[in-house]
Amino acid sequence: MWKPELLAPAKNLERLKVAIAYGADAIYLGGQKYGLRARADNFTDYELEQAVVFAHQHNAKIYVTLNAFLHDSDFVGLAEYCQFLESIGVDAVIVSDLGVIRAIRNSSNLNIHLSTQASCLNSYAGLLWKQTGVKRLIVGRELTIAEAGAIREKSGIEVEMFTHGAMCMAYSGHCTISNFTAGRDSNRGGCIQSCRLPYHLETEENKSDDLVSFMSSRDLWGIYQIGEFFQHQICSLKIEGRMKSSFYVGLTCKVYRQLIDAYAAGTLNAEMLQVAARELQSVPNRDYFSGSLETPASKDSVFGQLSGINTGTYEYLGLVVDTTPDEIVLQLVEPLALGEEIEIIPFQGEAIRGRVDRLFSITGESVEFMRQDSIVRIPKFSTATKAANIAKYNVVRFKSAVKEVANAI
């Protein structure tokens, strides 16, 4: 049965390898210029070459973002960069700007996907973009799945939709708040997420000292719409998050991979959706909702918390960077002590739970505690089945103490 592509974000090579290991069919990422995530690590030319080689070895594709809105001075070097991307085998580039599309077509044979920033919201626009050489529309997030499907049918061009992750309060991301508050252009990679901040609201009739959050959007999830994506032949389901952790990327890819495959096999059921929802709640989030996937988003889409995001039920502990017949080697992002309960997330199947009863430094010294950013060795958990499922690029988590305290209260 036909399946939509699962498209995941990558901030760097680690995230890329994690996403592919957990089932992503394609990865979108940025180079050092021309993208809208200037604060992400982004990929050097050498890393882009490595990314393409790794992805193609694992039957995955690479899409590079060239989606900033450029001024004339920004075009210097663009033609050469496109020729480089074509030479290393990049599968497509993601573009917002009509002038950039023309420059790409004049300098290379790269496949072009239209960025959601271009705000394609109707079939007439879809047909026009098709005439410019665009191969895929990443439609505006204001559309329902049914509307996106109608565009695909009428324009005869592939349609991709965001199905999970952070949402922007502005129409198709066209926001200029950062320009005025921080002198950074949101549409050229400089967004500082001013919409997430608390504000005082004043009117002629009312002035309040209370801080409110009125522009911060809740996070999107499309787990309950998997069937609709199939029915309307949405070719690619896109996960937002080029600034997110390997924990987020790996677990989100795993959840959507399972749901896509289960629907295609005719085995998707309510219990699987409950498990999927619980797993997605384990990572930090801003209260999930379905966005405009079924009906236009309304006032209940606002995330009312004044700062930060909700703590997930779990915290990210680290990443498996190697295994031996008896041990697991972890790169820690949080401290680890003897006696702690941890969970390793295999690429398939349930989490592998165990207690850390022995802890070693990378040189083999027995220790009781290791700080974050350390590399540690721990014995594999007892059963042979569990040990066999543990592999490089598995993410590791532990229960969130903050969440447990909140639940106890």
Kindly write down the DSSP assignment for every residue of 52-90, as one continuous string.
HHHHHHTT-EEEEEE-S---GGGGTTHHHHHHHHHHHT-
- Which candidate, 245, 203, 306, 341, places its Cα nearest to that of 10? 245
Q: What are phi and psi of 73, to 5 degrees?
A: -65, -20
Contact yes or no for 396/320 (Cβ under 8 A)? yes
pLDDT value at position 407?
Answer: 46
* Identity of the amino acid at 187: N
Contact yes or no for 161/229 (Cβ under 8 A)? yes
pLDDT value at position 174?
Answer: 78
Q: What are phi and psi of 195, to 5 degrees?
A: -65, -20
User: What topology is assigned to 5-174+216-301 in CATH?
Assistant: TIM Barrel (3.20.20)
Low-confidence ranges of the chain (pLDDT < 70): 36-41, 188, 383-387, 401-409
pLDDT value at position 188?
Answer: 67
Q: How many CB atoms lie within 10 A of CB 405?
A: 10
* Rounded to 5°, angle at Cα 47 from 44 and 51: 135
Q: What share of the chain is helix, strand, coil (3-state, %, to 5)?
A: 35, 25, 40
User: Mapping DSSP to helix (H, G, I), strand (E, B) and coil, where does residue 281 land?
Assistant: coil
Sorted by where each begins, the domain ranges of the chain are 5-174+216-301, 314-408
Of the options 3.30.9.10, 3.10.180.10, 3.40.50.300, 2.40.30.10, the CATH number for the domain spanning 314-408: 2.40.30.10
CA distance 278 to 301: 20
